[in-house]
């Protein structure tokens, strides 16, 4: 850490510590008062909605309760707001001093880049996958252009237990709907509440997505899939991706991966060494990644559930040393990109 950056972070530390104490106090109020009120008014809204089914005049009370609940929901969780503020104001200031060619976006995701990785086929990820992402970093390290995103890929699947429970509850409410329609002065065609399919998220990937440009003239396609995750085991890759199973003759790669490639991969020894060096560096810190190369574009999926640049209101901030963890995260990204080329 250079002296200029240290001075900046010492000033940031003092300001952030004052904010942290305020947020810590407000978080206790939020937890003890606001959260119970949210739960209470949500429950009241639900009960009043059932009552309105049999007694329409109760709609006035439902509207009042609903408005109060809506206003309570507007109040953000101070812990999340503190973390978001940290990422929005502190991390960009650090990057500004370390490398002006790098830009950090706390809540962005580049779906188009992810889809171009070549893995969204039936054999691996599929086209029905949903995306979430944050911590988008884009720029240059040693003239190597790169982008990195923390992403989650998930599918929506039916939650049969909740679906069955909702349908059962709707059946119990059915007599109330019949009675209401018998005595009401106007017709109702409302659907029974909770009657329908309830879905849940099934996470299939949580980690980094990295895209960078390789210093190579390679023209083709390479896919490195960890052996434990290779469900297709080569059966579909020739027809879907246009590649076939090959041997790389590199111990690190062959020990951990099934390698699928066009036939000119084995002749590019420089590319093989680059991939091997990159993987050896990743193995020290993270789980086994999945990798694709399309011409000179490298795409890395590195499983990592730990969020980048995450902070906690419970961590006291004394001086610039508080930011060492975040500087290590930045160094990890820079070193990883440097290893690639």
pLDDT at 189: 44
The domain locations on the chain are 160-197
Burial class (CB in 10 A: 0-12, 13-18, 19+), 78: buried
Distance CA 66, CA 41 (A): 7
pLDDT at 211: 92
pLDDT at 184: 46
Q: Which residue has the tokens 């252009």?
A: 145
pLDDT tens, the chain, 341 aa long: 677 888 888 888 888 888 889 988 888 888 888 888 888 888 888 888 888 877 878 788 888 888 888 888 888 888 888 888 888 888 888 888 888 888 999 888 888 888 888 777 655 666 667 888 888 999 988 888 899 999 888 877 776 676 666 666 555 555 555 555 455 444 444 444 444 566 777 788 888 899 988 877 778 888 888 887 776 655 556 555 677 777 777 788 888 888 888 765 555 666 777 788 788 878 877 778 888 888 888 899 988 877 788 888 888 888 888 888 888 888 888 888 888 77
pLDDT at 190: 46
Model pTM? 0.73
Name the nearest CA neighbour of 105 among 137, 80, 130, 131: 137
CA distance readout (Å), 47 to 68, 137, 270: 15, 46, 68
Burial 155-188 (b: 16+ CB within 10 A, else e): eeeebeeebeebeeebeebeeebeebeeeeeeee
Sequence-ordered list of residues with C-beta below 8 angstroms from that of 259, at least 6 positions apart, any chain: 222, 223, 224, 245, 246, 247, 248, 253, 265
């Amino acid at each position: 850490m250079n002296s200029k950056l240290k001075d900046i972070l010492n000033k940031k530390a003092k300001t952030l510590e004052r904010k942290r104490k305020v947020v810590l106090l407000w978080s206790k109020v939020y937890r003890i008062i606001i959260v119970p009120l949210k739960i209470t008014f949500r429950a009241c809204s639900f009960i009043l909605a059932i009552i309105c089914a049999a007694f329409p005049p109760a709609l006035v009370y439902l509207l009042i309760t609903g408005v109060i609940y809506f206003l309570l929901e507007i109040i953000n969780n101070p812990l999340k707001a503190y973390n978001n503020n940290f990422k929005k104001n502190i991390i960009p200031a650090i990057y500004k001093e370390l490398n002006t060619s790098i830009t950090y976006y706390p809540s962005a995701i580049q779906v188009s880049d992810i889809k171009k990785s070549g893995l969204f086929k039936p054999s691996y990820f599929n086209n029905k996958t949903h995306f979430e992402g944050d911590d988008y970093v884009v720029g240059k390290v040693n003239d190597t252009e790169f982008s990195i995103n923390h992403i989650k890929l998930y599918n929506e699947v039916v939650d049969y237990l909740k679906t069955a429970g909702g349908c059962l509850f709707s059946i119990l409410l059915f007599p109330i709907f019949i009675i209401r329609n018998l005595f009401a002065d106007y017709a109702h065609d409302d659907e029974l509440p909770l009657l329908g399919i309830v879905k849940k998220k099934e996470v299939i990937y949580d980690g980094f997505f990295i895209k960078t440009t390789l210093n190579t003239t390679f023209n083709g396609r390479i896919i490195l899939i960890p052996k434990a995750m290779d469900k297709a085991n080569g059966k579909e890759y020739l027809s879907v991706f246009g590649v076939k199973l090959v041997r790389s003759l590199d111990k690190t790669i062959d020990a951990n991966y099934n390698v699928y490639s066009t036939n000119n991969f084995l002749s590019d020894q420089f590319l093989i060494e680059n991939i091997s060096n990159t993987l050896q560096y990743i193995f020290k810190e993270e789980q086994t990644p999945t990798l694709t190369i399309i011409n000179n574009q490298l795409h890395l999926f590195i499983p990592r559930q730990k969020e980048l640049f995450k902070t906690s209101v419970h961590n006291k901030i004394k001086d610039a040393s508080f930011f060492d963890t975040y500087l290590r995260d930045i160094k990890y990204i820079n070193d990883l990109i440097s290893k690639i080329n």
